[in-house]
Amino acid sequence: MRHFTFKSILLATLGCLAFAGPVYAADLYPADLAKQEPRLASAFADLTKSLVRKHAWVMDFGVTTPVEETTLNNETYVRLSGCKPHDCPSEKYVVLVSKKNNHAVGAFLTNRQAAAGALSDSTIQWLGQPTDEQVAQLAAALFPAADS
């Protein structure tokens, strides 16, 4: 009887894993995903082409965090985020790409420091005309709440 119980648990576990659906690995980064999904790479490049003239590092995604999936108004997005190599506090971006149609929107944050090193100015450039709901989600990703 034990053998049957163990087999049942094993099959149930494997069955759950098989039907879990596509989930991005914790170590999948934007550049890796772009190689796997050329349409997503194209959407990112089209969205950020105006930035690349002044911020060339964006073309190669910069220093990135793992890709995340997020849902907004019953639509699933892939969230890509990165910052300027060797100077993350000065420039960073967050981009949402629709899994349904590869439409991308985003935000690019530039922070400037005063001579003493204190923050003197921040500017957000919205990319791709995000909706109010998308703006809220992009802003929350740019300015995560501090842990209490």
Question: For 6-29, how does the pLDDT look when each residue is reduced to its tens digit (9 = 90+)?
Answer: 333 333 333 333 333 345 556 899
**In-domain check, residue 49:** yes
**In-domain check, residue 15:** no
- Residue 136 one-letter amino acid: A
pTM above 0.75, yes or no: yes
Closest CA to 61 of 93, 106, 35, 86: 93
**In-domain check, residue 106:** yes
**For the domain that residue 30 is a member of, what is the CATH number?**
3.40.1420.10
| Number of structural domains the chain divides into | 1
Max Cα–Cα distance, the chain, nearest Å: 74
pLDDT (average), residues 47-69: 96
Predicted pLDDT of residue 102: 95
Q: Are 139 and 127 in contact (CB under 8 A)?
A: no
* Distance from C-alpha of 69 to C-alpha of 36, rounded to nearest angstrom: 16
Predicted pLDDT of residue 27: 85
Which range of residues forms the domain containing residue 46? 25-142
Q: Pull the structure tokens for residue 53.
A: 């003239």
**In-domain check, residue 125:** yes
**In-domain check, residue 129:** yes
**In-domain check, residue 18:** no
**In-domain check, residue 98:** yes
**In-domain check, residue 12:** no
What digits encode the pLDDT tens for the residues 107-148?
A: 999 998 777 667 778 899 999 999 999 999 999 999 887 655
Q: How far is CA 25 from the centre of its chain?
A: 13
What digits encode the pLDDT tens for the residues 61-107?
A: 999 999 999 999 999 999 999 999 999 989 999 999 999 999 999 99
